[in-house]
Amino acid sequence: MAKVTIDGIEVEVADGTTILNAARQIGGNVVPPAMCYYTSLKDSGGKCRVCLVKVTQGSAKDPRPMPKLVASCRTNVMDGMVVQNLTSPEVLEARKGVVEFLLLNHPLDCPICDQAGECDLQNLAYEHGAAKTRYEEERRTFEKIDIGDKIKLHMTRCILCYRCTYVADQLTDNRVHGILNRGDASEISTYIEKAVDNDFSGNMIDVCPVGALTDKTFRFKSRVWFTKPVDAHRDCPKCSGKVVLWTKGEEILRVSARKDQYGEVKEFICNECRYDHKEMKDWTVEGPRHIDRHSVISQNHYEKIDLLKLKKEVERQLEFQRGNPLPEPNPTLNP
Amino acid sequence: MARKLLLEHENIPGIATFDVYRKNGGYASVEKAIKTMTPDEVTEEVKKSGLRGRGGAGFPAGMKWSFLDRKSTKPRYLVCNADESEPGTFKDRYLMEKIPHLLIEGMITSSYALGANTSYIYVRGEYMYVIRILEKAIEEAYAAGFLGNNILGSGYSLDMYVQPGGGAYICGEETALLESLEGKRGNPRLKPPFPAIAGLYASPTVVNNVETIAAVVPIVNNGGEEYAKIGIGKSTGTKLISAGGHINNPGVYEIELGLPVEEFIYSKEYCGGIWKGRKLKAVVAGGSSVPILPAGLILKTAKGEPRLMSYESLSEGGFVTGTMLGSGGFIVLDETACIVHHLYTFARFYHHESCGQCSPCREGTGWMEKVIHRIEHGHGHMRDIDLLVDVAKKIEGNTICPLGDAAAWPVASAIRHFREEFEYHIKYPEKVKNPKHFEIEPFVSERVAALV
Amino acid sequence: MEVKFSDETLALVNKIIKRYPEGKQKSALLPLLHLAQAEFDGWLSPAVMDYVASILHIKPIEVYEVASFYTMYNMKPVGKCLIEVCRTGPCMLRGAEDIVAHIENRLGIKEGETTADGLFTLKTTECLGSCGTAPMLQCGADYYENLTNEKVDTLLDKLAVVKEHSTYMRSNRQEI
C-alpha cells in the first residue's frame, strides 16, 4: 500500500496504482482530465498530455521533485508522493497549452457534430481553454470515410488517442484499421477499402472521446440532450447485454454501452445488441439513467425530482416574494 | 599536435579491412578484456574514464551500463545507435565508412562487459552503402573468430547483426529505436520503465551511440584513467566534431575536449576560418536541436571568458547565453546567412519528423513552421514573434520524448538573440522577397555584439 | 499476377529472419520492405505489402502502418532513378536550393514529380548526414557529394543511359 497526497488530500492505494486512478478514488475536482487513457485497454494513455500533473515530492524515501510534468495516467504512485494538480499554476498553464494544441487542427464542427453534449473535448475546452483561437493558418483536412457500414470516420476531428486501435486489437481478433503516416498527417484508416465487420467493432464508437467515430444509425437524428437515456438489458449469448437506450417517446434512437462517470465503458457490447434491436419490446427496461458527468447532457434533469431540493427551491421563492434577501450560496444548485 | 584516439589510423590504406586493421593494433582490446578482465572490471574502466554519451545527451556511459538489470533471467542486448539523423552531424557515417572494425571491436568489448550475447547495430536506412561495408566487416570478424561461438576459446559467444532503419529521425531516440527494431512504428515509449530494465523485447538493453562504443576501445587499451587525463573537468577524452556550413574546410575533426572555440573555427588545422573572406555571424554548436548563438557569445561566454569545446563551457549561461555540445554537429553561419530562413529549414525538419503521438509536438511543430514561413516571406505580424516564443514554451517539457524540446529550443534561441532580424522581415516585406537578400545587403544589427 | 520473391531473395529473407529470437520475426519487417521495394519496381503496392505480411505471419494493416510511417518506403510508383536532394540547414547554407532549381529546370519537372519517360523522380529530403560535403544528393544507395551544376548535369547524363536503375539494395554508382 502506498500513501499519496493530491492537492492536499491524502489517500492510500494499492502498489502499482497510477496517480490518475488514485485521484479517481478521491473523486471530485482533484481528478485530472484524461482523453487517451482507458482503464480496460492495455497500453493506452500517456499520449494526449492532458493529464499532466506536477510531482513535488517523488516519495518519502527520495523526496526530490520530478523535473518535468508527468502524465498521471501512466505514472505509478510511490509511498509518500506529493502531487499538485489544480493547485499548481504550472499545471494549469500546461493544460491550457495542451488544449490549445488539441484544438489547433480540430474543425469547428460542434453545430453539426453528433458528439456535442457528450464530448470530452468540449468539456475540456470549456474548463481550460481560451475563448478565441490564435491559429491563423490552414488546418489539415481529410475526407469523411466509412469504416464498415455502421461507423463513420471524420478524421478531421480525430485527436489521435489511439483508443480505437486498442479496442480493435484487444477486443476483436482481427484489426483492419490502424494509424498511417506520421506527425500531423497521421490518419486512422484501413489503407485500402476494407470492411470492419468484427462483432465487437461497434465499441469503437463508445471509446472515441470526440466525434471522429460516430454511429451511422444515429447520425443527425437528434441532439443527445433531447433524448431520454434509460438503462436496459436483454439476454445476449455473446455479451453482457447491458446497455443504455437513448429514446425519444417510444422510439429508440440509438443503443450504446454504459459509461461510468469518467466516460469509460466497463462492459462492452456486441454489434447485434447495438444495431439490430431498435424496438422497445426487445429490451427489459430497468429505469432512467443517471448521468454523472456535469456535462450539457446532464442538464436534462428528467430522472428524478429531488423532493428535498424542490422544497428548498419553493422556500427560496417565497422568501424572495416576501422581499427578503436570498440565502447565498444558492442551495438548490449542483456543487 | 592533438592526440587522436579514434581516427588515429584513418589515412592508412586498407584500414577498412580486417587484416590491415589487425596489423595496426586492432582487436587488442577484445583480447585484453576477454582474456584478462572480468565484465565488471571493464565497466569500472569505462566509469573511471568519465566517458559521456556522444550521441547528444551526454549521459555518463559507465553509469548507464551499471543500470542494466543483471538480476533478470532474460537475455541482455547491446544496441548501437547509428541512426545519425541530427542535422549537422555526420561523424558516425565517417567513422563507420573509414574504420568499421573500430566500431565492431568496441561492440564486442562492450557486449562482453554487459553480458550480452546478441547485439544489433541499428543504422539509418539512407546509409545503405555503409550498411554493406559494416556487414562485410562483420563477416571478416566472424571468419577470424572474433564473433560467433566461443570467442578466443573463452566460452563467451556473441552474434552481431546490422539492422537498417526506414528513414525517421525519431528513431534516434532510444525507445523509438527499440520499437523500430521490433518491426513497429517508431513511436517513443514512456519512461519509466527504462531500457536498462525493459528494453528490446522487454529485456534489459543498453543503447549507446557509435562514437561512445568506439571510445571503449582506447579506454580498455590504455585504461580509464589515461582517458580521463585528456579533456577538461567532466568533459574527458576526445570528441568527433562534424563541422559544416560557411567554413573553408568542412569535415570531421577529432578534438580533445577543452579546445577553444575560436581556435576550432579559425585555425588551419580545423575549420580554416569563414569562407569567401566573410565574417562570422552565428554558430549552431551541437546539431540543429541546440540553441543558436551569435558570434559574440560563441567565442566568449557572457562573463567574458573564452568559450571552450566542452560540455560545461558551452552550457555556461544556460539557454539564455549558452548552448550545448550535443552531438557535435558544428554549423557556422556567415554574415550573409538569413537566420529566419535557416530557422525555417529546421522548423520544417522537426515538423516532418514528428511521430505524431503526443499533441504538443504533433500540432506545435506544424504551427511553428507555418508561422516562420509567413514571416520569412513577408506576411508576418509583430505579434507572431511573441506567439512563436509562447508556442515553443508550451511544447517544451510537455512531450513524451525530447523531440518536442529539440523543436522548441532553436526557435526560442533564434528569437532571443536575433529578434531584430525577425522584425526586419515583418517591417520590410519587399526587401525580403529575394531569398538571397542578405547577400545583396548584409543585415546589420545595432544590438548584437561586434562581429569578429 | 502473383507477387513472389525470387529464390535468391527468399534465401536472404530466411537468413534475415534468423537474426531475431524465436517468435520475434516481426523485427525483420523493415529489412524485408527494403528488399521488396528493390525487387518490385521501387515501390510498395498493397499486393506487395500483403505478401510481406504473409511471409512474416502478421496482419496486413501492421505492414501498411509501418510502411507509411518511414520516409524511405515509396507508397506510390517512382521513376527508375529516384533523385533525393538534401535541403536541411547546413546543405541549404551551401547552396542546395540552387541545385534543386537547376535539376527542376533541366528535367522540366517540379519537386515530387516524375519525368514523362518514367526515368527520374525528384524529391527533397531532410538531412542525409553529409553536411561536410554539401550540397549533395542521393540516388538509390549512392551518395553524390560536393555538387555543382556541372556535376549534376554529368550525373543526369550518365544515369539516363544506364540500364540498371539504382535501388537501395543495388548500387549503380557513377563517376562525376
pLDDT digits (tens, 9 = 90+) for B145-183: 999 999 999 999 999 999 999 999 999 999 999 999 999
Quick check: is B83 in a domain?
Answer: yes
Compute the mean pLDDT over every residue in chain B, rounded to the nearest whole number: 93
B38 and B130 together in one domain: yes
Q: Which of C41, C67, C93 is the last residue of a domain?
A: C67
The answer to whether residue C62 neighbours chain A at the CB level (below 8 Å) is yes
Residue owning grid cell 514561413:
B373
Flag whether B360 is in a domain: yes
Do the domain assignments include residue B12?
Answer: no
The whole-angstrom separation of Cα B304 and Cα B371 is 35
Please tell me the number of Cα atoms within 13 Å of A93 on its side-chain side.
13
Q: Say if A98 is an interface residue toward chain B (CB within 8 Å).
A: yes
User: Please, what is the average pLDDT of chain C?
Assistant: 92
Residues 190-209 in B contacting C (C-alpha not used; CB under 8 Å): 201
Higher pLDDT, C170 or B402: B402
Q: Which of B307, B334, B361 is the last residue of a domain?
A: B334
Distance in Å, alpha carbon of B70 to nearest chain A alpha carbon: 23
Question: Which region holds residue B151: left if phi is over 0, alpha if psi is between -120 and 50, else beta?
Answer: beta
C88 to B129: CB separation less than 8 angstroms, yes or no: no
Residues B92 and B205 in one domain: yes
- pLDDT score of A292: 61
What are the tens digits of pLDDT across the range A176-201? 889 999 999 999 988 877 777 788 88
CATH of the domain at B405: 1.20.1440.230
Please say whether the beta carbons of B152 and B108 come within 8 A: no
**Model pLDDT, residue B1:** 59
Tell me if ipTM is over 0.90. Answer: yes
* Residues B440 and B315 placed together within one structural domain of the fold: no
Check residue B452 and give its pLDDT.
Answer: 47
The residue of A47, A163, A191, A210 whose CB has the most chain B CBs within 10 angstroms, and thus the best one to mutate to test that interface, is: A47
Residues B175 and B96 in one domain: yes
Q: Which domain holds residue B247?
A: 240-334
- Mean pLDDT over A269-296 rounds to 84
pLDDT at A251: 92
Total domain count, chain C: 2
Residue C76 belongs to a domain: no
A195 touches chain C (CB under 8 A): no
| Residues C91 and C31 placed together within one structural domain of the fold | no
Neighbouring chains of A at 3+ CB pairs under 8 Å are B, C
Cα angle vertex A171, ends A169, A173, to 5°?
A: 60
SS3 A6: strand
What would the mean pLDDT of A103-130 be, rounded to a whole number? 90
Judgement on whether residues B330 and B365 belong to the same structural domain of the protein: no
For the stretch C116-172, pLDDT in tens is 999 999 999 999 999 999 899 999 889 999 999 999 999 999 998 887 777 777 777
pLDDT reading at B74 higher than 60: yes
- CATH 3.30.70.20 range(s) for chain A read 110-220
Rounded to an integer, what distance in angstroms lies between the CA atom of residue A231 and that of residue A263?
A: 16
Strand B259-260 relative to strand A228-233, pairing:
unpaired
Mean pLDDT, to the nearest integer, of A235-242?
92
**In C, which residues are within 8 Å of A188 by CB distance?**
none
Contact residues on chain C for B184, CB-CB shorter than 8 A: 26, 62, 66
**CB distance C31 to C67 below 8 Å:** no
CATH, residue C47: 1.10.10
Mean pLDDT of C23-37: 94
Q: Do B166 and C126 touch (CB under 8 A)?
A: no
In a domain, residue C41? The reply is yes
Same domain? For C147 and C92 the reply is yes
- pLDDT, residue B448, reads 54
Output the pLDDT for position B237: 93
Asked if B70 and B190 sit in the same domain, the reply is yes
Q: How confident is the model at residue B393 (pLDDT cuts 50, 70, 90)?
A: very high
Give CATH for domain A2-97: 3.10.20.740
Instruction: Kindly state the average pLDDT of the residues C103-107.
Output: 94
Residues C85 and C58 in one domain: no
CB C71 within 8 A of CB C125: yes
- Separation of alpha carbons B311 and B299, rounded Å: 15
- The least confident of A135-149, A187-201, A245-259, C46-60 is A187-201
pLDDT tens profile B411-450:
999 999 999 999 999 999 998 888 888 888 878 776 654 5
Q: Domain total for chain B?
A: 3
B360 and B264 fall within a common domain: no
CB pairs under 8 A between A and B: 88
- Do B411 and B366 form a contact (C-beta atoms < 8 A)? no
Strand intervals (E) in B56-105: 77-82
Q: How far apart are CA A213 and CA A164, in angstroms?
A: 9
Q: Is the pLDDT at A213 greater than 70, yes or no?
A: yes
Put simply, the answer to whether A183 touches B397 (Cβ < 8 Å) is no
For residue B359, pLDDT over 90 is answered with yes
One domain, residues C85 and C110? yes
- What would the CATH number be for the domain defined by A110-220? 3.30.70.20
Strand B329-334 and strand C137-139: the pairing is unpaired
Does one domain contain both B256 and B290? yes
Report if residue C75 sits inside a domain.
no
pLDDT for the residue A330: 61
Domain assignment of residue C34, yes or no = yes
Range of the domain at C125: 81-160
Quick one: B175 and B266 in the same domain?
A: no
C91 and C61 both lie in a single domain: no
pLDDT above 80 (res A293): no
pLDDT at A174 over 60: yes
Check residue A327 and give its pLDDT: 61
C47 and C86 share a domain? no
pTM greater than 0.90:
yes
What are the residue ranges of CATH 3.10.20.740 in chain A?
2-97
The CATH number of residue C121's host domain is 3.40.30.10
Rounded Cα distance between B70 and B292, Å, is: 41
Q: What one-character DSSP code corresponds to residue B300?
A: B
Tell me, yes or no, whether B86 and B209 share the same domain. yes
Q: Flag whether B234 is in a domain.
A: no
Q: Is residue B393 part of a domain?
A: yes
The confidence score (pLDDT) of residue A307 equals 62
Residue-level pLDDT at B19: 95
Read off the CATH number of the domain in which B257 is found: 3.10.20.600
Q: Report residue A17 as a C-alpha cell.
A: 496504482
Name the residue with higher pLDDT: C169 or C95.
C95
Q: Is B383 exposed, middle or buried (0-12, 13-18, 19+ CB in 10 A)?
A: exposed
Q: Report yes or no: C88 and C57 within 8 Å, Cβ to Cβ.
A: no
B194 touching A, CB under 8 A?
no
CB contact under 8 A, A175 and C69: no
B287-340 confidence digits (pLDDT tens): 999 999 999 999 999 999 999 999 999 999 999 999 999 999 999 999 999 999
